[in-house]
Amino acid sequence: MPLIYSSADNCIVLLSQNPIFEIAFPTKFYEYIACNKPVLAICKGELYRIINNNQIGCAVDSNNIDNLVVFIDKIKESNELFNNIEENIIKVLQKFSLSTLSLNIKEILEKEFKK
């Protein structure tokens, strides 16, 4: 799969409006960013926030598909935007690395056990 993802310009995540997808992440999201690909998503919840707050693509809810189309046109025309997204993806990957996540968990546990 990495070869297929790496050959794409962007990768897409389409999630159901089911409430579970407000907190659940599809594994393909991690695969996409591991391949340093901008993520185009129709979703809501945490995935929506991570994509948009970190500027690693564009996430819209199902009522705003037109905004996704506008973003696709922008990224298609702007190498600078594409390069900025790739740089932002590298930063997000560092946040989600096993070493970073394990340190975060360790800090949380240490705080809880000190109480």
**Is it the case that residue 98 has pLDDT exceeding 90?**
no
pLDDT computed for residue 35 by the predictor: 92
Task: Quote the CATH superfamily of domain 2-114.
Answer: Glycogen Phosphorylase B; (3.40.50.2000)
Half-sphere exposure of 97 toward its Cβ, with a 13 Å CA cutoff?
Answer: 10
Structure tokens at 21: 């997808």
**What's the rounded Cα separation, in Å, for the pair 64 and 86?**
24
- Strand 39-42 to strand 57-60: parallel, antiparallel, or no bridges (unpaired)? parallel
Which of these, 70, 68, 63, 66, lies nearest to 51 by C-alpha position?
A: 68
Reply yes or no on whether the pLDDT at 3 is more than 90: no
Q: For strand 11-14 and strand 57-60, is the pairing parallel, antiparallel, or unpaired?
A: unpaired
- Stated pTM of the model: 0.84
In contact, 69 and 50? CB cutoff 8 Å:
no
Q: Is 11 helix (H, G, I), strand (E, B) or coil?
A: strand
In this predicted structure, the answer to whether residue 104 has a pLDDT above a threshold of 90 is no
Return the pLDDT at 115. 66
Q: How many residues does the chain have?
A: 115
Average pLDDT of the residues in 11-24: 90
For the chain, which residues make up each domain, given as ranges?
2-114
pLDDT digits (tens, 9 = 90+) for 29-86: 989 999 999 999 999 999 999 999 999 999 999 999 999 999 999 999 999 999 999 9
